Amino acid sequence: MARIAPTGRQSGDLKLYPVAPDVYLYRGFFSNSGVLVLPGGVVVVDTQITPMAGERLRKAIAAVTDKPITHVINTHYHGDHAGGNLAFPDAEIIATAETERYIHERDEERLDYARTFGLQFQDVPAVAPPTRTFTGKLSLDVGGEVLELFQAGRVETPDACVVWWPSRKVLLPGDGVATVSYPYLGVPFLDEGLQDDGQWIEFLRTMKGLGAEYVLAGHGQGLQGKERIEARLDLLIALFTDLFAAVKEELAKNTPLAELVLAVDAKLARYARHKDLEQNTVSQRFAIYRAYNSARPDRRGKGWWHDFRPSVIKRASAEEAKPILEVVTDQTLSATVRGLAKRHGPLAHTVLEGWLAAHPDHAAAHALLADVLFDSAAGISPVVDATEYIAAAAREAKAALALDATCKLALLNLGCIDIWSAMVLAQSMAPGIARITAALEAGDLTTKQRRKAAFFLGKAHQFELRDEECDRWLRQAMPAWLRFAYPLVRHKLRSIP
């Protein structure tokens, strides 16, 4: 039997993987799509994040079957699951009535989401709304094979829909089941996601009761085998149950938030160390904030991220920065900061903030801070923490360019952020390539900065499927003395994080 999609990663590699006869999983960079080949046509479950990504999905499907795509099902309203609907103009688009409403009412959330994580939208393509809606349950007959669509409670979003192919024991639960790593429990700026109402736990129990042999979730690897699937569901049920129990115990003691987070984290240490709950995208700390917000009645309706979550960006003390600021000059600032960044990134950051407090219109200092922040993000885990650095780097790069539109270091870093954004949001790489190229043409970049430029140009061409250009730039991203070994590390440099 064909192998299920690669394991252990949240991100995919833009490929369609056979899972079982007539069942495929498309691993987009940010989210998955299920592809079911039924006697009466192809059913696509979730359509990626933009029409561009949806078109790639269409082409991948056409390579494995010549049957028409007759139906699209959106498991919920989020843009990374419904944003590619326009790529399927001939298909009937099915979703819950709530999903249709949220697609219209909450469209601006895509911009908020992008801004939260430092992503740059070039434009916001329209989302084609459902052409058929249901509430509760729907049986979909496609040439004699029946899919069951049903709502099973509030999970990451209130409108969640599950797709179940009973004759094949194939379950597509959207974002209700995290199949890999620590679960992502809700959008950071909305009061939705994991709630203190037991619905997500009951949802997981319902999924377990189906006896699925395959689970193709909205993110992460596919799961195969009833025992393995049940073990994952049991793990998530136990995690959510113990999470709320620990948070409520501390709330009953009136434990201050900072101390509560530490206490609950210690009580749940076995989950933080669990081999199947790697904290690479989100962390247990974020889950604690989510549960805390939900378990306090006075917090309901207020979101859960920005107003009480402390910044993860590390800074040195003002006392450490003071003696450096007393002697640094306009002429020595760049060399001083680069030297500091190699051994003490937080101090480099604090020195630049001190300099900018006295020189707010210094474009080069804003660009240097963008460079420090963006480079720091590479060493930050989980990814959600790293995005705070990326968002801050984008703000500083834009501030620099507002003062000096030709600032090469700002162009470089904003170009890198453009390319990262285009990878996640499935957009054109052209703006990012243009900015980085302009920075390279201006010259006077350090070796490290030129290698960073080369790496992101390589990734841009990789995502545009230009293999020769990709290899040319990724080779230049390596140290000059090591480039002869590029064929040995090509697969790693071309991997998707």
Locate the domains of the chain by residue range: 15-240, 246-299, 318-493
- Distance, in Å, from the CA atom of 106 to the CA atom of 59, rounded to the nearest integer, reads 29
Query: What SS3 class is residue 145?
Result: strand
The verdict on domain 15-240 having CATH code 3.60.15.10 is yes
**pLDDT score at 9:** 61
Query: In the structure encoding, which two tokens stand for residue 479, read together?
Result: 């140290």
* Contact status, residue 327 vs residue 313, Cβ threshold 8 Å: no
384: CB partners within 8 A, 6+ apart: 117, 188, 281, 282, 283, 286
Cα dihedral 109→119→9→156 (10° resolution): -10
CA 139 to chain CA centroid, Å, is: 32
**Other beta carbons within 10 Å of 323:** 9
**Architecture of the CATH domain 318-493:** Alpha Horseshoe (1.25)
| Strand intervals (E) in 214-297 | 214-215, 223-224
**pLDDT score at 306:** 67
Query: What SS3 class is residue 32?
Result: strand
186: CB partners within 8 A, 6+ apart: 156, 192, 193, 194, 290, 304
* Contact status, residue 386 vs residue 377, Cβ threshold 8 Å: yes
**pLDDT score at 294:** 87
Closest CA to 26 of 479, 426, 485, 389: 426
Which helix H or strand E contains 347, and what residues bound it?
A: helix 345-358
- Distance, in Å, from the CA atom of 97 to the CA atom of 397, rounded to the nearest integer, reads 42
Query: In the structure encoding, which two tokens stand for residue 145, read together?
Result: 């094979």
Query: What SS3 class is residue 256?
Result: coil
Residue-by-residue pLDDT tens, the chain, 497 positions? 344 544 456 678 889 999 999 999 999 988 999 999 999 999 999 999 999 999 999 999 999 999 999 999 999 999 999 999 999 999 999 999 999 999 999 888 888 888 877 888 888 899 999 999 999 999 999 999 999 999 999 999 999 999 999 999 999 999 999 999 999 888 777 778 898 999 999 999 999 999 999 999 999 999 999 999 999 999 999 999 999 999 999 999 999 999 999 999 999 999 999 999 999 888 999 899 989 988 988 887 766 556 777 888 999 999 999 999 999 999 999 999 999 999 999 999 999 999 999 999 999 999 999 999 999 999 898 988 999 999 999 999 999 999 999 999 999 999 999 999 999 999 999 999 999 999 999 888 999 999 999 999 999 999 998 999 999 999 999 999 999 999 999 998 988 66
- Residue environment code for 162-194, b if the CB has 16+ CB neighbours within 10 A, otherwise e: bbbbeebbbbbbbbbbbbbbbbbbbbbeeebbb
- Distance, in Å, from the CA atom of 356 to the CA atom of 413, rounded to the nearest integer, reads 18
